[in-house]
Structure formats: structure tokens, C-alpha cells
Amino acid sequence: MTQSTVIPFYGSDVPNDAVINTCVHCGLCLSACPTYRETGLEQFSPRGRIYLMKAVADGRIGMESEVFQEQMSACLNCRACEAVCPSGVQYGQILESARTQIHHAKKDGTLPAYPATTTAVRSLVFGQLFRKMSVFRLFSRLIWLYQKTGLQWIARRSGIIKLFGLTEQEAILPPINDTFMVPRDQVYPAIGAERARVALLSGCIMSTAFSHVHTATIRVLQRNGVTVVVPRDQGCCGALHAHGGELDSARSLAQHNIVAFGSSYDAVIVNAAGCGSTLKEYGHLLHDDAAWADRAAAFSAKVRDISEYIAALDVNTADLNPLPLTVTYQEPCHLAHAQRITAQPRALLKKIPGLTLVEMAESSLCCGSAGIYNVTQPELAGQLGNRKIANTVRTNAQVVVTANPGCHLQLAGGLRATGSAMRVLHIAEVLDMSYRGATA
């Protein structure tokens, strides 16, 4: 096909017409959309993007349209639009399908291929790092060495990072923990009578840069009478693949995890919002596959975010110690919008004696992290990051609490850049500090 040909959606993962046509163009989602709020442009809005998808579906434009491709990429997939849409448009589903269409067309030559560097980065990120956890952990260990041996200090001061144009990418490298949470069927028994036995998703970045959050999560669950197992052989949840237009890879990762976790646990606990929402959508991801559909739906039905799970228990408040802290809460998009979990984290924080929760403005507006968005769309990501930091700092809290690694890193980097002393903590860390009687 030539570039002047109108290239329709084709093959598998065509955005679902029925979902596209659910949109009644009311515009009620516009004020919730971070990219629309930043630009004020219709094409940067959910309604504008759905209109573009419909235009391709109806053959009025093709996938070769630069505006179509640009907008499928400029969307954060934060799903704030989905949460406020009165018609119930399942926006995330059609966006991920549209991205997969573009990806397939670039791979099979229907659309011009990615630039060579993009192909190389995609192949490394989606095909290796976030596909094979052994490779991810090896890579994490190399970053750990870079950070621990002083190489990072030298690289930053010598200007070599700037020379290679890697300043922004290097700045968002998370500090890697000394100890990783490698899943090996570890069992952490409940304290007191066992009320449930759950499996924990160790994940990719959570297992290397946030393994301390896993430790806190496990201790909080144990204090609530829950035995925690970290099943071996589990892998990446597939969120990055699904969001990045590689739905086939996301499906194969989902199948891998469904087997690794089995069906013997009372719940599958996740403490990273993006991973949790993906695990909860395995049922949809595999709904067309007769061999997997039922297993995937049953698996998804057991997935719980940590705050959702603890709040639903008759939570152990007797062992909570005073924690004299002023905190604010930043809502991860994939917790607030994709999983619709907003009340539970606040309710849990309010149960901690001595803790004061102050609300920040626009708590549920995306911070601009959104997976690899701050790499693919640095300008918009920077604007949204600055807006989030301004709202955070304005609360004068000592700690900003969140529950997703992307948000955590975006907040920590932004606060560092402004010279703020405010700390970023996961909600499980705050609960754990109170249970342990730790000082702030």
C-alpha cells in the first residue's frame, strides 16, 4: 500500500465498534482529561480521540493519519474519562486496540516502520526486560551497581549523560534496593489465627526498586491474620505491553501468570495500581480464547488491591500505634479510575491514630508518569508533573502517600527538583510504620 491509501483497521484487535458507538459526544469527560486540560484542544480530549477512532472505523481517514497516530500516543491511558462517562464508554479497551493496530501495521510494513532506535528500544523493553524477569533483575542489578559504586555520581558530574542526551531518562532511574523480592514460594504466616491465605504479585520494578514496599505489605497482611505466599514462576503482569499496543504479548504474560498463581489462594494481592488493574482485566484480555476465558475470568475475580483488601477485612486497628504525621494522598489513575478505588485508602489512613490527612487539589488528575509516557511525551508529562507537584507542595504535608511505582517516582523526582523535603510513601509503608510503632 502507498502512503496515500486509506489504511483501515484490519486483522485482530480491531477497536470494538459497539464500544466506539457508545460515545454520545456529550463532552462530560473533557474536564476530567489531563491532556485536554493542558492543551484546551478537542483532539487532545477523549471525545476527540474516539472521534478519530470512529473516523478510521468508518473509512473517512486511515491509520496513516498523523493526527490519529499522534493522539493514540499522546493519550495517557489514565482512564479518567472512563470513570466519569455517563454512557459507560470502555475507553481503555478501544485505546489499547487502536495502539495495537498501529503497532501491527508498523511491524508488517503497512505503515512506515518505527525509527531504528524506537524499534531497538521497544524490542529491549517489551521483548526482553518486561518479558523475562531474570533479564529484568539482571538489568536492575547493573543499575544497582551503577548507583552504589559511585559511577552514577561520576557520570552526572562529568557531563557524559548530557553529552548522550540522556539527562531526563537517567534522572528517573529509581534507586534499586539491595535485596530483591524474587518469587520462590516464600510463605509468611499470619500472626494469630489465620483468616485467609493470599498470593502476592511480586512484579518487575516493585520487586527490585520497591521490595521494601512488599516487605511492608506482607507485614500489614500478617498483622491482619493473613498468610502471604509469593508464588514462584510468576512474571510481569503485561500492563506495559497492553498499554503500549502489544496485546498479544500481554495475553501470553497473562496466561503465564494464571498458571503460576494457580487457583488455591483466597485472593491475589497487588500493591501497584497499574499491575492490579491489568490483572483484573485478564478476563477481558482472554475473553475470545475458549481455552483460557473461564480461567482468566476466575483469576481476575480474585485480584485485590492491598488497600481494597485490607479495608474490606475487619481491619486490625487494635495494634495501630500513634503516627503523628501530616499526609496528603495522590490517587494513582489505575486505582481511582480503572479500579474505582478512592474511599478505601483514605479510610485506612484515617484509622491511624495521630495521623492527619489533608486533601490536595486535583488528587486524581494524572501526574504524567503513565508507564513510559514521560519518555514518549516528555513535554506533556513535564507539564502534568509540575502541576501535580505544585498541588502536592501546597498542602504543606510531611508525606505524600500513593500506591503505584510510576506515580511514586514522578512525585519523588518532582519534589527533589523543587528542593522540597516532603517524602513519598506507599500506603502499606504508612500502615506498617503505625503497626510497628515506628517514628516518622
Binding residues vs ligand SF4 (CB under 6 A)? 23-29, 32-35, 46-47, 49-50, 75-81, 85, 87, 89, 91
Radius of gyration of the chain, Cα coordinates, nearest whole angstrom: 22
Rounded to an integer, what distance in angstroms lies between the CA atom of residue 110 and that of residue 105? Answer: 5
Q: How far is the CB of 333 from ligand SF4 (least distance, A)?
A: 7
Q: Which is nearer to ligand SF4, 24 or 358 (CB)?
A: 24
Q: How far is the CB of 388 from ligand SF4 (least distance, A)?
A: 14
CA atoms in the 13 A half-sphere facing the CB of 132 = 8
Q: How far is the CB of 43 from ligand SF4 (least distance, A)?
A: 11
Rounded to an integer, what distance in angstroms lies between the CA atom of residue 40 and that of residue 117? Answer: 32
Beta strand pairing status for 226-230 and 267-270? Answer: unpaired
Q: Which is nearer to ligand SF4, 88 or 322 (CB)?
A: 88
Rounded to an integer, what distance in angstroms lies between the CA atom of residue 22 and that of residue 90? Answer: 9
Q: How far is the CB of 340 from ligand SF4 (least distance, A)?
A: 15
Q: Which is nearer to ligand SF4, 17 or 266 (CB)?
A: 17
Cell of residue 299, nine digits: 483469576
Q: How far is the CB of 78 from ligand SF4 (least distance, A)?
A: 4
Rounded to an integer, what distance in angstroms lies between the CA atom of residue 363 and that of residue 402? Answer: 10
Q: How far is the CB of 103 from ligand SF4 (least distance, A)?
A: 18
Q: How far is the CB of 380 from ligand SF4 (least distance, A)?
A: 9
Grid cell 478505601 is found at: 344
Q: Which is nearer to ligand SF4, 95 or 181 (CB)?
A: 95
Q: Which is nearer to ligand SF4, 137 or 334 (CB)?
A: 334
Query: How many CB atoms lie under 10 A from the CB of residue 149?
Result: 10
Q: How far is the CB of 77 from ligand SF4 (least distance, A)?
A: 5
Q: Which is nearer to ligand SF4, 1 or 26 (CB)?
A: 26
Q: Which is nearer to ligand SF4, 87 or 158 (CB)?
A: 87
Q: Which is nearer to ligand SF4, 99 or 106 (CB)?
A: 99
Q: How far is the CB of 398 from ligand SF4 (least distance, A)?
A: 30
Residues in a beta bridge with 356: 326
Q: How far is the CB of 236 from ligand SF4 (least distance, A)?
A: 22
Q: Which is nearer to ligand SF4, 30 or 204 (CB)?
A: 30
Q: Which is nearer to ligand SF4, 77 or 307 (CB)?
A: 77
Grid cell 484487535 is found at: 13
